[in-house]
Amino acid sequence: MTAADSAAQRELIDALVTTSFVTMAVLNRVSAEYDLSLTQFRVLAILRDRRVKMSELADYLGLDKSTISGLVDRAEKRGLLQRAPNTADGRAVDVFLSPAGTELADRGAALVARSLSPMTSVLTGTEARRLTTLLEHILPAAPSLRAS
Amino acid sequence: MTAADSAAQRELIDALVTTSFVTMAVLNRVSAEYDLSLTQFRVLAILRDRRVKMSELADYLGLDKSTISGLVDRAEKRGLLQRAPNTADGRAVDVFLSPAGTELADRGAALVARSLSPMTSVLTGTEARRLTTLLEHILPAAPSLRAS
DNA sequence: TATTGTTATACTCTATAACTATA
DNA sequence: TATAGTTATAGAGTATAACAATA
């Protein structure tokens, strides 16, 4: 790799970190709009199209199972999701969205799209596709997606 | 905008969000490596090349001043940074890194680069530059960078 | 024995409100 | 009056350790 390429790598890392902070700030703001933490918001997003066990939720989020218990407790108390015993494993507990939770998750997803669109819409269709391709190219190389 | 372009926007938003979560997961892991929260790590990064007032730190991070007081308290107790009265404004307090904080910030920045390089290095130099350019193109359109 | 989940505990992060000191 | 910072308080997020139930 040439010295110029090393510099390009460093500049890319900077741009990646900055973009991520900006994106997360937007997601945080959207979550707060619905009185949710970003983690709670992610829980709703994950459950949007699945019914999962507590342990699977812990895996998706990269958090300890005791943390999930608290997270689910609070969301359940708000009527956003429900627990039910898993029929196949007597130890396991399933979690899934309530109707209210589904509605909130849907509205949240729409607001995320609206909130980020000012950024993405400065690009032409061709540029947008090129950026998507590049991001999808580097994503599989991420070091252990466990806590994604 | 054509229907195909709308789809491209949606896919870009997905890629952006996924990339951001992956990047933040890496930054979280690096922070934890040094027994720092991501916020503490950001404080060190901000102070790496500046001496700022408490209120400026609050602006950079998009957090309340009382939150900054606690953050700085804990970091100061660990010997990573120091407070000193601002000479121009009797109400203000300056914050700056201690030698230990500077050393930790430097090592942290290096580890961030090392931890993200598996992702960035799958690209050729030309691709890396193109991705950087596209990210830098959309960044200024971010809705209110206040909490960046 | 190992796994799933909950609870108790402790600490950090965060905001709000009330306060002091300075501008 | 307004701004800078601290403190008290309260709630959420997080992990560790200890536990009960099931596999």
Assign B144 a pLDDT band (cuts: 50, 70, 90).
Answer: low
Percentage, residues of chain A above pLDDT 90: 91
A104 CA to C8 C1' distance (Å): 32
Q: CA of A110: which chain B residue's CA is closest?
A: B10
The residue whose two tokens read 């969301």 is A75
Is B26 exposed, middle or buried (CB count within 10 Å of its CB: 0-12, 13-18, 19+)?
A: buried
Flag whether pLDDT at B147 surpasses 90. Answer: no
Read off φ and ψ for residue A92, nearest 5 degrees. -85, 155
Nearest C-alpha of chain A: how many angstroms from B127? 8
Instruction: Please give the model's pTM, rounded to 2 decimal places.
Output: 0.93
For residue A131, the chain B residues in CB contact (below 8 A) are 12, 15, 131, 134-135, 138
pLDDT tens, residue by residue, A63-79: 999 999 999 999 999 99
pLDDT digits 0-9 by tens, A7-58: 999 999 999 999 999 999 999 999 999 999 999 999 999 999 999 999 999 9
Is any atom of nucleic acid chain C found less than 7 Å from the CB of residue B102?
no
Nearest to B8 by CA among B144, B140, B132, B134: B134
Average pLDDT score over chain A:
94
The nearest CA of chain B is from the CA of A86 a distance in Å of 29
Q: Which two tokens stand for residue A18?
A: 């900055």
Given a cut of 80, whether residue B3 has pLDDT beyond it is yes
How many residues can be counted in chain A? 148
